[in-house]
Amino acid sequence: MVAGQDGKARVQEYMTRDVATVSPDATVGEVARRIAESEHNGFPVTDRRRVEGFVSARDLLLRDDDEPIFTVMSKDLLVAHPEMQVTDAARVILRSGIQKLPVVDDAGNLVGIISNADVIRSQIERATPEKVGKLKRTLENIHDVQLREERREVELAVLTPTQGKVYADELEGRRYELERGLAEPLVVIDNGGVLSGGSAADGDLLLADGHHRVKAAQQADVETMDAYVIVVDEPVDLGMARTAEEEGLETLDDIDVVDYARHPLVETIERLQ
């Protein structure tokens, strides 16, 4: 994703472009059924792409099924522009108490929609590259190699974990994020095997960060996840790979889920008591 010239994230980078809409001539009954059959709690009302209003589930309460939407929709609505900074859109969303802002171009045509979830995602993603860059520089200094970064979807089944346990209480938070599309990208090291002809089964795709996220995804039957990948074109002897081998970590099934009640810190406190 490319930010504006000032380096700040723009609405167009994070908005949803494929927006479900309804016509002003649709009936209350029709829209109510669409809301009931989807995850949406409302829709922008458009006429030939121009935004005429917004209709929410609340607007439909106590209205006759045959009433046209243009008689019940909210016409005084807030919208965002694609070039608007995400932080400014966040202020509007926070202060107005709404969950979504339609995004319109200079002609007033609907080009997307940005939600409070999109705003949170923008902050998560912008924080992650710093973590990746720090790890990349550390590996380069330790092993005297030049590395590069990629952004891609990775198959969870071929990842080699480098951490032997995760905690059940933290998994709940990761599941919540995953269900709402807020999961932070993984950080993976491709140690030469996948891109240079080796097989994924060789254990060359190492999971450096995101063990709770992948375990939550595995429990939800998710097969792939977004990841920042640090690519080592010529395989090197990585310490974390040796650690994984010594601990018998080959697949995500080898990661133990530790119940919160057996968390080492809790056990220490109990012993002290």
Question: Which of 213, 198, 215 has its CA nearest to residue 249?
Answer: 215
Its pTM surpasses 0.85? no
For 119-158, b/e burial (b = at least 16 CB within 10 A) is bbbbeebbebeeebeebbeebeeeeeeebeeeeeebebeb
Q: What is the pLDDT along the chain (273 residues), one digit of tens a residue?
A: 445 556 688 999 999 999 999 999 999 999 999 999 998 889 999 999 999 999 999 999 999 999 999 999 999 889 999 999 999 999 888 888 888 899 999 988 999 999 988 888 787 777 788 889 999 999 888 888 889 999 999 999 999 999 998 888 788 888 888 888 888 899 999 987 444 333 443 447 999 999 999 999 999 999 999 999 999 887 788 777 888 888 899 999 999 988 754 444 444 334 433
Instruction: Specify the pLDDT at position 273.
Output: 35
Domain ranges in the chain are 11-118, 145-268
The second-level CATH assignment, the architecture, of 145-268 is Alpha-Beta Complex (3.90)
Q: What is the largest CA-CA distance in the chain?
A: 72
Ramachandran sector of residue 148 (left: φ over 0; alpha: ψ -120 to 50; beta: rest): beta
Instruction: Specify the pLDDT at position 237.
Output: 81
Instruction: Specify the pLDDT at position 198.
Output: 38
The second-level CATH assignment, the architecture, of 11-118 is Roll (3.10)
